[in-house]
Structure 1
């Protein structure tokens, strides 16, 4: 097992020699004669596991060094032990207030130095271990949540006359369009994972309506339109940003730029950006995909419809951006082809 690294910071070389002599048999030791060098070493590639820090130094005293260490996310978690001749209670309190974990007074006692360093390193290792466990568990839970959303999205598509490939393709198309718009990468990823739930509400539509081969009558169409509300109800209220965005997409992706969509007749930018993006991705893939009951439209014909509906059905700003994504869209279409295309 690799030895832990201890950074000793003191403006007096003799004091550094003393502490190095105490520690070198047990740890890797680095040294700095001033605060500036200490900060550079602490934030460098091979960061120390613990810092022994003198207080009384010229230019930048230990208190200021500690404050800078704790204010930098890169070095904030490195435990700092003050080693100093200052032993007043006020001095110790100030050090602890700044984030130090311990206080050793000079002249140092080797057994005390070793005991304090060992204890703080053990606590630091335990904290890192627990943090890694929590991080790993959080990642696993998030992966599970994303996978459940994808599976539910596929379930909705299989109930309808779609294939599971549709939700994969339109999710990629949505991501491409969000990226082309310059949205933050984390939001693009969130939209990519939320988009598969856009039609989850179709689970609540009776088969006599959902699978009717003929044109729906007025009453049946009103039933069909309820899938947007059902989708929002299925996803429900949840603090997860992913589920919140999925709900936003599910209830709004059939709204139209001109206000003639459903379920709420939202108009223009009243429609959330996520739903405006998904609307284009969803329609384009539906048009250009073959189904047992229909032939696929050509890309040219589908693009012509997008242009025609820009400012009516679709956000006119997003349509040309989507068209600029077509080279990447074609790659996804080829990679995730429907079984009907074989």
Structure 2
């Protein structure tokens, strides 16, 4: 345990060091200059401070005031050495959170007893802090594990919906990455960017409730069939609704709103402009962009410039102009996402639907 001794009298420093040498596991650091001692404390944390009150330039009270103002020094025990008659000084020192006092002339046995008691408390304090840090780390890890398992389950559920539709798992990964890129360029904080990335794959989860005859029909749908197909937004929202999980809550919002159009001509509720939840507006742009640029068994993927022009043409009608601008703000990032998930796309195209 490290004890900082601050006293302008070098003889007193030697005396304190000698008396404290009788204590086991104690290292004394004597300093005659209180200003230099404070500077040292800015970079180091002693386990106990023994400071004299009567010092030139900076007395013990001012030293204590400045010491307590340093980061991480509020809990370090401080013993102030005063004369027997300095009652007012002791009261002020208590107000400044001194932990104990020694009266001149200092008694050897009293010094070691008081310092020993305070160091025992300091050891317990450090152990509690270490235990608290360990528990905090354990809780964070446990929480991260729960979130990871929740995310895995949601991804698998989302893939189940995708396998009922002539889409690919690569689409989910890319679309989620495009959605996060859009959110990031819109200035959303990291937590919200991660949340929309993780929730975006649930956008079409409601397709599990659409009959295969409609979902997998090779030709154009009738008006009645289109109406049934559009119900996947409400089915998805119903599947995910009512959860206490923020991830599922956002997933429900996305499932319900990603087919709304900025001009109000979308479905299922015909919302327009900012009445459409931001998460839905973001995923709408990301979903269409990936659908346009992806290769499918029934179509070739559009080149990047053609897809960009389509989004810009639909800006303000089908899409939120701010979301379009945010997605297209970093073309290099778009290409990087396409390249990163190319292997998933090739694997999925080779697997049965």
TM-score (norm 2): 0.75
Moved more, 122-131 or 167-176: 122-131
With over 3 angstroms needed to count, the CA separation of the structure-2 counterparts of 1:126 and 1:341, relative to structure 1, is closer
Which of 322, 326, 333 aligns to 1:328? It is 333
* Counterpart-to-counterpart distance in 1, 2:67 and 2:314: 61
Corresponding residue number in structure 2 for 1:290: 295
| Mapping of residues 23-34 of structure 1, within 5 Å | 26=25
With over 3 angstroms needed to count, the CA separation of the structure-2 counterparts of 1:210 and 1:119, relative to structure 1, is same
Which of 150, 175, 179 aligns to 2:180? It is 175
* Counterpart-to-counterpart distance in 1, 2:78 and 2:280: 55
With over 3 angstroms needed to count, the CA separation of the structure-2 counterparts of 1:113 and 1:257, relative to structure 1, is same
With over 3 angstroms needed to count, the CA separation of the structure-2 counterparts of 1:320 and 1:10, relative to structure 1, is same
| Mapping of residues 85-164 of structure 1, within 5 Å | 103-106=99-102, 108=111, 109=113, 110-164=115-169
Corresponding residue number in structure 2 for 1:231: 236
**2:209 pairs with 1:204:** yes
* Counterpart-to-counterpart distance in 2, 1:141 and 1:135: 10
Moved more, 328-337 or 79-88: 79-88
SS in structure 2 at match of 1:83: strand
Query: How big is the alpha-carbon RMSD for the aligned residues of Structure 1 and Structure 2?
Result: 3.7
Instruction: Measure how far apart 1:243 and its partner are.
Output: 3.1
* Counterpart-to-counterpart distance in 2, 1:143 and 1:53: 50
SS in structure 1 at match of 2:163: helix
With over 3 angstroms needed to count, the CA separation of the structure-2 counterparts of 1:317 and 1:30, relative to structure 1, is farther
Instruction: Measure how far apart 1:58 and its partner are.
Output: 5.0
**2:295 pairs with 1:301:** no
* Counterpart-to-counterpart distance in 2, 1:50 and 1:236: 54
Q: Which ranges of structure 1 fall in alignment gaps of 5 or more residues?
A: none
* Counterpart-to-counterpart distance in 1, 2:46 and 2:136: 15
SS in structure 1 at match of 2:302: coil
Is the Cα–Cα contact under 8 Å of residues 55 and 61 in structure 1 kept in the other structure? no
* Counterpart-to-counterpart distance in 2, 1:116 and 1:22: 19
* Counterpart-to-counterpart distance in 1, 2:336 and 2:287: 17
Instruction: Measure how far apart 1:253 and its partner are.
Output: 1.1
Q: Which ranges of structure 2 fall in alignment gaps of 5 or more residues?
A: 54-58
- Is the radius of gyration larger for structure 1 or structure 2? 2
Instruction: Measure how far apart 1:269 and its partner are.
Output: 1.4
**2:48 pairs with 1:48:** no
Instruction: Measure how far apart 1:168 and its partner are.
Output: 0.5
Corresponding residue number in structure 2 for 1:194: 199
With over 3 angstroms needed to count, the CA separation of the structure-2 counterparts of 1:191 and 1:85, relative to structure 1, is same
SS in structure 1 at match of 2:45: coil
TM-score (norm 1): 0.78
Which of 312, 321, 337 aligns to 1:316? It is 321
* Counterpart-to-counterpart distance in 1, 2:323 and 2:64: 55
Instruction: Measure how far apart 1:283 and its partner are.
Output: 0.4
Is the Cα–Cα contact under 8 Å of residues 175 and 290 in structure 2 kept in the other structure? yes
With over 3 angstroms needed to count, the CA separation of the structure-2 counterparts of 1:61 and 1:38, relative to structure 1, is closer
